[in-house]
Amino acid sequence: MRRKAPLFVSVSLIFVVGCSTPTELSTDTTVLRLAHNMNESHPIHQSLVHFSELAEEKSNGSITFQVFPNGQLGSEREAIELTQTGAVDATKVSATALESFSPVYALFSTPYLFNGAEHYYEVMESDIATDIYDLTATNGFFGLTYYDAGIRNMYTIGTPILTPEDLSGMKIRVQPSETAIEMTRLMGGAPTPMAFGEVYTALQQGVIDGTENNETSLTSNNHGEVAKEYSYTEHSIVPDLLIFSQSRWESFSEEEQQLLTEAAIASSEYHKELWANETAQAIEQAEEMGVTFHSDVDLEAFRELVEPMHEEVRQDPDLSPFYNRIQEMNEEVQTND
Ligand code: GCU
278 within domain boundaries: no
Cα–ligand 1 centroid distance for 200 (angstroms)? 13
By CB neighbour count within 10 A (0-12 exposed, 13-18 middle, 19+ buried), where does 337 fall?
exposed
Interacting residues of 5 by C-beta distance below 8 A, sequence separation 6+: 15, 31, 64, 66
25 within domain boundaries: no
pLDDT tens digits, one per residue of 220-278: 999 999 999 999 999 999 999 999 999 999 999 999 999 999 999 999 999 999 999 99
Residue 214's domain comprises 152-237+288-336
CA-nearest residue for atom 4, ligand 1, is 94
Q: Give dist(CA 152, CA 62) in Å, integer.
A: 38
CA-nearest residue for atom 13, ligand 1, is 196
Please report which helix (H) or strand (E) contains residue 217, including its range.
helix 216-220
101 within domain boundaries: no
Mutate to test the pocket of ligand 1, among 196, 208, 275 (most ligand atoms within 8 A of CB): 196
Question: For 136, phi and psi rounded to 5 degrees?
Answer: -95, 10
pLDDT tens digits, one per residue of 65-107: 999 999 999 999 999 999 999 999 999 999 999 999 999 999 9
Cα–ligand 1 centroid distance for 302 (angstroms)? 22
Beta carbons of 173 and 193 less than 8 angstroms apart? yes
Cα–ligand 1 centroid distance for 297 (angstroms)? 23
Mutate to test the pocket of ligand 1, among 98, 175, 179 (most ligand atoms within 8 A of CB): 175
Residue 15 has pLDDT above 70, yes or no: no
Residue 289 has pLDDT above 70, yes or no: yes
Question: The domain spanning residue 327 has which CATH number?
Answer: 3.40.190.170
Residue 287 has pLDDT above 60, yes or no: yes
43 within domain boundaries: no
pLDDT at 124: 98
Cα–ligand 1 centroid distance for 175 (angstroms)? 8
pLDDT tens digits, one per residue of 313-332: 999 999 999 999 999 999 99
CA-nearest residue for atom 6, ligand 1, is 196
315 within domain boundaries: yes
Mutate to test the pocket of ligand 1, among 213, 271, 279 (most ligand atoms within 8 A of CB): 213
Write down the pTM of the prediction: 0.92
Q: Give dist(CA 231, CA 163) in Å, integer.
A: 10
Cα–ligand 1 centroid distance for 94 (angstroms)? 6
pLDDT at 28: 84
Beta carbons of 78 and 178 less than 8 angstroms apart? no
DSSP lists the bridge partners of residue 66 as 33
202 within domain boundaries: yes
Mutate to test the pocket of ligand 1, among 78, 80, 94, 154 (most ligand atoms within 8 A of CB): 94
Q: Taking each helix axis as running N to C, give the angle between helix 254-288 and helix 43-58, from 0 to 180 degrees, rounded to the nearest 10.
A: 160
Mean pLDDT confidence for 145-157: 98
Residue 24 has pLDDT above 90, yes or no: no
Cα–ligand 1 centroid distance for 240 (angstroms)? 7
Going from the C-alpha of 89 to that of each of 3, 9, 15, 60, 82, the distances in angstroms are 18, 14, 10, 20, 8
197 within domain boundaries: yes
22 within domain boundaries: no
Cα–ligand 1 centroid distance for 279 (angstroms)? 14
Pocket of ligand 1 (CB under 6 A): 37, 76, 94, 149, 175, 196, 213-214, 217, 240
Nearest by Cα to 142 from 200, 188, 192, 98 = 98
pLDDT at 235: 98
Cα–ligand 1 centroid distance for 99 (angstroms)? 14
Cα–ligand 1 centroid distance for 224 (angstroms)? 15
3-state secondary structure of 141: strand
The total domain count for the chain is: 1
